[in-house]
Amino acid sequence: SARGVENHSGGSGNNHGGDNHHVTSNSGIRQTVASIICGNSTLAQLYVTQFQALITQVINNGSFTAWLQQHAVEVAYFQSTTNTDLLASNCAGYFTGLDAARALDRAAQNQQQQFSRIIDRLSDGILRNLLGRVRNNSHGK
């Protein structure tokens, strides 16, 4: 993947499998990638236009709805002309903003995972309660 600026693995350094398909594993490498891109205005422009094209393809392909929902802030960041202009005037600031957008998406994903765990615990409790009642009723007959 060309997304070498951000790590979605939470800093574990394990980028083999799952959603951890990104090139980098720590902020030092992210900064190096950003500085390489920022050191060449043509490369920086290609970075943005290629990501914008990729996002357009993903939007047009209905198979990626869940991914788009999980990366809504990042997608909006890439689509923003203000941010594209920022890349030309303050490239490091652009990547700082991109990292912040991705962090917001990760926070939302983490919140959704917490909600899922809560629902799983509550539904397990309902099942345990019902099974306990069935056992208690079968002993009383």
Domain that holds residue 88: 27-140
Count of the separate structural domains present in the chain: 1
**Residue 135 falls within a domain, yes or no?**
yes
Please tell me what DSSP assigns to residue 19.
Answer: T
Exposed/middle/buried for residue 19 (C-beta within 10 Å: 0-12, 13-18, 19+): exposed
Find, among 81, 78, 90, 114, the residue nearest to 6 by Cα: 78
Alpha helical stretches, state H, the chain? 27-38, 41-60, 65-70, 72-79, 81-89, 91-140
**Residue 6 falls within a domain, yes or no?**
no
Query: Can you say whether residue 3 is alpha, beta or left, with left for phi > 0 and alpha for psi between -120 and 50 degrees?
Result: beta
- How many Cα neighbours within 13 Å face the side chain of 18? 10
**Residue 86 falls within a domain, yes or no?**
yes
**Residue 113 falls within a domain, yes or no?**
yes
Count of other CB atoms within 10 angstroms of residue 87: 21
**Residue 83 falls within a domain, yes or no?**
yes
Q: Are 15 and 7 in contact (CB under 8 A)?
A: yes
Q: What is the pTM of this model?
A: 0.65
pLDDT at res. 27: 67
**Residue 18 falls within a domain, yes or no?**
no
**Residue 35 falls within a domain, yes or no?**
yes
Q: Are 76 and 68 in contact (CB under 8 A)?
A: no
Q: What is the pLDDT of residues 44-101, one digit of tens each?
A: 999 999 999 999 999 999 999 999 999 999 999 999 999 999 999 999 999 999 999 9
**Residue 10 falls within a domain, yes or no?**
no
Query: Is 71 or 5 the better-scoring residue by pLDDT?
Result: 71
